[in-house]
Amino acid sequence: MAVLIDNSDKNSKIINLRQATNCLGNRVVALWIDYLIVAILFIIPTYILDKIVFAAFILPFLYFPVLEGIKGYTPGKLILHIRVVNDKGNPPGFLRAVIRTLLKFIEANPFFLGGVPAGIVAMFSSTHQRLGDMAAGTYVVLAKYVVENNPKHT
């Protein structure tokens, strides 16, 4: 099992991944914040141009992979102090973020069972992963357990 460093105080220590990923409530709230932002990204170009345009479809689908892949967080995750990481504790990279996003639109879709399938899987996974995380090899962890200057290993 992968480990991260707890650097929340002077006495840094290695912690297990189960402890770092114990943030299901934060994940739910962060996802709703992000879905609100995505809705705005869709509505604004449509309203301004008075028709649905290509950009209105592209922006929402790039939102999660670009932000999570490069930085490890979206605005919702930043507000709720959680990060998406690979097994080394680094941002997962674009490809892994695309995999998680494709499955997110199925298992955590607010219009399709309200994200219940993702929540159930994450509750019973030993590392609180939903199917998208399992497929992509990613984890959502509390930000305090992420060391920002890990060597890049994606």
**Between β-strands 82-85 and 13-16, what pairing exists: parallel, antiparallel or unpaired?**
unpaired
Neighbouring-strand partners of residue 75: none
* Averaged pLDDT, 136-148: 87
CA angle 81, 83, 85 (to 5 degrees): 160
- pLDDT tens for residues 37-58? 988 877 777 777 666 666 666 7
For CA atoms 85, 88, 89, 90, give the dihedral sign: negative
pTM listed for this prediction: 0.81
Which pLDDT band, with edges at 50, 70 and 90, does 138 fall under? very high
**pLDDT at residue 132, as a whole number:** 94
3-state class (DSSP) for residue 108:
coil
